[in-house]
Amino acid sequence: MSKVALLGMPNTGKSTLFNRLTGSGARVGNWPGVTVELASAKLLLGAEMVEMIDLPGIYDLHGFSEDERVVRHFLENNSLDLAVVVLNAVQIERQLALALQIQALGLPLVLLLNMEDEARKLGIRIDTGKISAQLAIPTVLVSAKYGSGHQTALRTITAALRAAPAVPVEAVKTALIADQTIEAKLAQVLAAAVDMPLTMSVSLTDRIDRLVLHPVLALPLFLAVILLLFQAVFALGMPLQTAMSALFGWLRADLLTPLLAWTPPFVQGLLEDGVWNGVATVATFVPIIVLFFVFMAIVEDTGYLSRAAFLTDALMARLGLDGRSFVMILMGFGCNVPALMGTRIMRSRPLRLLSMLLIPLSLCSARLQVFLFIIAALFPPAQAPYVLFSLYLASVATAIATALIFRRHFPSTEPFVIELPPYRLPTARQIVLRAWQEVRHFFQRATKFIVAGAVLVWLLTHLPAGVAVGGPRSYAGFLGHAFQPLLSPLGIGDQLTVALIFGFVAKEVVIGSLAVIYATSGAALAGHLAQHLDWVQAYSFMLFTLIYTPCLSAVATIRSESRSPGFTFVAVAWPLLLAWLSSFVFYQGARWLGY
């Protein structure tokens, strides 16, 4: 099978193009010579099945960042049939040098100039025929966002593969040296093929930036945008959640229970109260999860988060970090694992370690599922967005406190450079694809963790045989009681303690565990929690869940990325201690004030 590598600089739309060309049927896997996972997908080109590998975005083949090393190691250890280089057509004069570096390796190339729609609006005219003639590289103008040119790109890639000579890996290794002629060649090609306007009018991006980068208004505006996002999520999501809960209740009562009536009581209880209640409870707030990521996709794809990184760089510098750390922390609000892996763009090891210590404190989507359910159960709709917003602020506050405590142990002097992309409105296809990817990821984790966790919790609450379900003599009761001296000062009872213990595996398991422990699900579980918890206990529980030890996937990633068992121990122990202190101060302080 032929192998095609997709290369380019960051923020050129390379991943969007990868999804467009391959139909987003991506998988991840390790490759020889590379210690990280890379996305790849198979696609049919002509009569041949081809594997396309999406490599990390890099600025230079001869740089020293982790991503640049990953690309170099990949090229040195894997035989390629074709390299497809993706450049931003608007910035071709700065990015074409990368294509010339890759061409110097002797690899067969196809050059895709992305964002041709933006280049056209700015009056940039690019003669792809002249570029092809000058460089002897097939060149195509495309727009990954709107899909224009991608069929031509596929045909060009197919033709290039058929004509491509075999290039030994050893030849690529030999050619991976600095090419002193690139700059002169670059100037020659640009002069012949690109007509760049001498001046560009003040664009819409510049006008928006005058407001969103305002020294006084920028930060309050950013916080207001996030708060409005939460308001929209709850306003639209709560009716959908109620409908989903009713649907699962009907399915259990009218379909599942009659279907399992012939089974032994133990099996029926395991399947209904264990598997079904656990999965159904988590699935009922999928509509809210979808809405959250739809709105976040809009905020991210417009380019606004890059401005947030720029705005916060001065603050982050006082914490021993920079704007890149802020971006990674923001990524952590989706999932901690890719954010931890994203720290490879930082060349300074102390900066990477300090960032990795902070990222697990981000309120990830797994924790979000827990909070959305509990907030909807215990707080009125008018208060719910503000409660969730306060948890996000608590997440940021714990990250700042951690940075202030540990910054002297991880000093870094690496400079921060960020490019602010123009504002772009994401297409409906991009938004739907993003939401679908998040929901698919959610259900993949559900099959791995939530079902297994729910079954295990059910067994712990129902064994040994003959004891009261979930009572003090059950295994779950023993387990919860053992930790009560530590967690009772936080207002966290036996049942919540068991759910937290299983949350060490994956935070999604927490709500599924409660469904099994209380032998109910959906709206009934929400009502049960509302009757047995007051808002102080609920908020203390959520605060502890927010901060305490990361899930096993995040811990494994920290161990892999840091290559330090000692640092991994700190990354596990510190959030646990911080969670206990934060919940203790809140709970005892609220009770002292009479709440």
- Positions of E strands within 153-226: 194-195
Q: What is the pLDDT of residue 418?
A: 62
69: CB partners within 8 A, 6+ apart: none
> Using CA of residue 73, residue 76, residue 82, residue 88, what is the dihedral sign?
positive
Lowest mean pLDDT among 12-21, 148-157, 455-464: 455-464
Average pLDDT over residues 446-475: 70
- DSSP per position, 297-359: HHHHHTTHHHHHHHHHHHHHHHTT--HHHHHHHHHHTT-HHHHHHHGGG---HHHHHHHHHHG
Tens digits of residue pLDDT in 178-213: 554 665 676 678 778 877 665 545 567 778 888 887
For the cut 80, the answer to whether the pLDDT of residue 389 exceeds it is yes
Q: What is the pLDDT of residue 31?
A: 44
Whether the link from the prior residue into 464 is cis, omega within 30° of 0, is: yes
CA 438 to chain centre: 9
Tens digits of residue pLDDT in 279-331: 776 676 677 667 777 777 777 777 777 777 777 777 777 888 877 787 778 77
For the cut 50, the answer to whether the pLDDT of residue 29 exceeds it is no
- Give the model's confidence band at 36: pLDDT under 50 very low, under 70 low, under 90 confident, else very high: low
For the cut 90, the answer to whether the pLDDT of residue 582 exceeds it is yes
Average pLDDT over residues 159-174: 81
Q: What is the pLDDT of residue 14?
A: 84
Long-range contacts of 152-155 (CB under 8 A, 24+ apart): 153/21, 153/110, 153/112, 154/21, 154/45
Query: Which is higher by pLDDT, 565 or 214?
Result: 565
For the cut 60, the answer to whether the pLDDT of residue 533 exceeds it is yes
Average pLDDT of the chain, as a whole number? 80
Q: What is the Cα gyration radius of the chain?
A: 27
Query: Which is higher by pLDDT, 502 or 562?
Result: 562
Q: What is the pLDDT of residue 483?
A: 84
Average pLDDT over residues 259-280: 78
Q: What is the pLDDT of residue 316?
A: 78
Q: What is the pLDDT of residue 578?
A: 96
Tens digits of residue pLDDT in 56-70: 888 887 665 677 778
Average pLDDT over residues 148-174: 85
| Sheet bearing 48-54, strands edge to edge | 27-30, 37-45, 48-54, 2-8, 82-88, 109-114, 139-141
Q: What is the pLDDT of residue 476?
A: 75
For the cut 90, the answer to whether the pLDDT of residue 398 exceeds it is yes
Query: Which is higher by pLDDT, 331 or 49?
Result: 49
Kindly state the tokens that stand for 543.
């605060």
Q: CA 366 to CA 330: how far, in whole Å?
A: 15
Q: CA 457 to CA 501: how far, in whole Å?
A: 10
Tens digits of residue pLDDT in 520-532: 767 788 888 888 8
Query: Which is higher by pLDDT, 563 or 173?
Result: 563
Q: What is the pLDDT of residue 360?
A: 92
Q: What is the pLDDT of residue 73?
A: 84
Percent of the chain with pLDDT strictly greater than 70: 84
302 φ/ψ angles, rounded to the nearest 5 degrees: -70, -20
Average pLDDT over residues 10-16: 81
For the cut 80, the answer to whether the pLDDT of residue 535 exceeds it is yes
Lowest mean pLDDT among 36-40, 212-216, 219-223, 437-441: 437-441
Q: What is the pLDDT of residue 182?
A: 60
Q: What is the pLDDT of residue 20?
A: 83
For the cut 90, the answer to whether the pLDDT of residue 406 exceeds it is yes
Tens digits of residue pLDDT in 125-134: 899 999 999 9
- Give the model's confidence band at 547: pLDDT under 50 very low, under 70 low, under 90 confident, else very high: very high
Q: What is the pLDDT of residue 219?
A: 78
- Give the model's confidence band at 32: pLDDT under 50 very low, under 70 low, under 90 confident, else very high: very low
525: CB partners within 8 A, 6+ apart: 277, 281, 377, 514, 515, 518
Asked if 70 and 55 count as a contact pair (C-beta separation under 8 A), the reply is: yes
583 φ/ψ angles, rounded to the nearest 5 degrees: -65, -35
Domains along the sequence of the chain with CATH: 2-195 (3.40.50.300), 220-592 (no CATH)
Least Cα distance to 366 among 538, 505, 227, 534 occurs for 505
For the cut 50, the answer to whether the pLDDT of residue 30 exceeds it is no
